[in-house]
Structure 1
Amino acid sequence: MQTTSDRIAQRMKELGLQHKDLVVATGASKGTVTNWINGVNTPTNERLIKLAQALKTTSSWLLTGNSSPEFAQVEPWDSYTPLDDDEIEIPFFKDFSFACGGGSISEAIANETRKLRMSKATLRNLSITKENAVAATAMGDSMSPTIKDGDTIHLDLGRKNIKDGKIFAICIGGLFYCKRLYNLPLGGVRIVSDNATEFPELHLSEQDRIDQQFEIIGWVWQISSLENW
């Protein structure tokens, strides 16, 4: 049976976090964080909340293992909100459809005023530059249950080469989607929805990609959900 320390270790591994990242995020001493990781004692009160936020999960999951570990509350921040030392702001788009149809992504990013906080360590561990990090609201249920309507997706605009089975933000014919992509011979691409019953997969040849204005916007590296009561 998993313990709280096991779950802490699990999330650290999944997010690529180190001991020092938890020290910075929680404000606890190195020794205290070591004790949490080793199971000597369990975080409580405000430290527990900060630890859960750093691990992008809930206090309940850390203590009991109940519910999904992937829950994370995501909120936009304005320009007056002070950032922690290990945080940056990234653009947060309520509607990312602008990226289709030949629009300038860099210009839209520069003009977007909505922001989300993001850990520098998280981006650094995934080799994502600040310039390539954006977030957007997902629409539709073609990728359900992996991505639900209204979820927040985090994109790396620098990764556009297809790695089989990974989820990418794409444009087809001027419309925006999130799909799993697979390489096909001779420059083709296989486009797969997790909700395959309602959204059958597509196969595009190299010429189809040109004709249908297929474009890869970036790799979806994180999905954040908010539960409704």
Structure 2
Amino acid sequence: MESLGKRIARLRKAAGYSSQAALGTACGWERPQARVSNYEKDSREPNLADLRLLANALNVSLIELIDGSPANACEDTGQYAYKPDATEYALVPQHTAQGAAGNGQFNDHVEVKGGLVFKRAWLARMGLKERHLHVIYVHGHSMEPTVCDGDVVLLDESQTQPRDGRIYALLKPDGELIIKRLIQSITGGWIIRSDNEDKRAYPDQPVTETDLENLTIVGRVVWHGGAL
């Protein structure tokens, strides 16, 4: 399967950029050659903003850049698979990172693996901005029945302020990424809560405001096969 880096290299050549530096310059980056080289070697993952700049410079849609050609022929039938219209749908990058609904998940390296498409009209109704969105898998059972093991969730990374009763992806100081609900306690602190009713296995974790500041709120979970 063609990696994202190989796809960038192929599209760069097809677009007439004779060098990596030329493409990087078109994107407006400092150290343009090094940046594009890292992307083409798959040694560094482009963020969503860089993916958009690359797509514009290469004159392709974001969907084509991340997910391959606009229409791929089936080897068996020769028919072309349907690709959603980029004017109607937004492709949200899906990362290989996993957020644990359990004891935590370490993610030393994160890669873009295609993505999921969402109707732009739905994103607008939900007040979500495409540039702030990412998709990850969930691992573990602590958030069942709300979010189950193997579910794919949509994160809005612009929502990093804790709100009572909402579900967030939290990055702990030791590098663990967890999916939990935040509950504001009557004493003014917070509780990191699992939705699973087995509290012996998944107890509440009271935290102070200071403790919460030591956690990085990566974003709020806004969808997992339905709006939350």
Residue in 2 aligned with 1:208? 211
Residue pair 1:170, 1:217 contacting (<8 A) in 2 also:
yes
Residue in 2 aligned with 1:78? 67
What is the DSSP-based 3-state SS (H/G/I as helix, E as strand, rest coil) of the residue aligned with 2:139?
A: coil
Residue pair 1:128, 1:158 contacting (<8 A) in 2 also:
no
Report the residue type matching 1:116 in the other structure: L
Answer 1 or 2: higher relative contact order, Cα 8 Å, separation at least 6: 1
Residue in 2 aligned with 1:45? none
Residue in 1 aligned with 2:93? 91
Instruction: Give yes or no for the alignment of 1:119 onto 2:122.
Output: no
The 1-side partners of 2:180 and 2:209 are apart by 18
Deviates more, 1:171-180 or 1:141-150: 171-180
The 1-side partners of 2:106 and 2:132 are apart by 20
Residue in 1 aligned with 2:154? 154
TM-score (norm 1): 0.54
Q: 1:92, CA displacement in angstroms?
A: 0.4
Structure 1: state its 5+ residue gaps.
1-76
Deviation track 1:145-178 (CA, whole Å, cap 9, x = no partner) reads 1111100101111111222111111122321111
Residue in 2 aligned with 1:29? none
How does 1:30-179 map onto structure 2 within 5 Å?
A: 78-81=67-70, 82-84=83-85, 85-96=87-98, 112-172=112-172, 173-179=174-180
Give the length in aligned residue pairs: 140
The 3 A distance-change label for structure 1 pair 221 and 170 is same
Q: Which has the higher helix share?
A: 1
What is the DSSP-based 3-state SS (H/G/I as helix, E as strand, rest coil) of the residue aligned with 1:224?
A: coil
The 2-side partners of 1:86 and 1:132 are apart by 18
Deviation track 1:189-218 (CA, whole Å, cap 9, x = no partner) reads 2111011412101011133335xx311111
The 1-side partners of 2:97 and 2:106 are apart by 14
The 2-side partners of 1:101 and 1:146 are apart by 22
Q: 1:188, CA displacement in angstroms?
A: 3.0
Structure 2: state its 5+ residue gaps.
1-65, 71-82, 100-104
Residue pair 1:186, 1:205 contacting (<8 A) in 2 also:
no
What is the DSSP-based 3-state SS (H/G/I as helix, E as strand, rest coil) of the residue aligned with 2:224?
A: strand
Q: Please, what is the CA RMSD of the aligned residues?
A: 2.8
Residue in 1 aligned with 2:190? 189
Residue in 2 aligned with 1:180? 181
Report the residue type matching 1:195 in the other structure: N
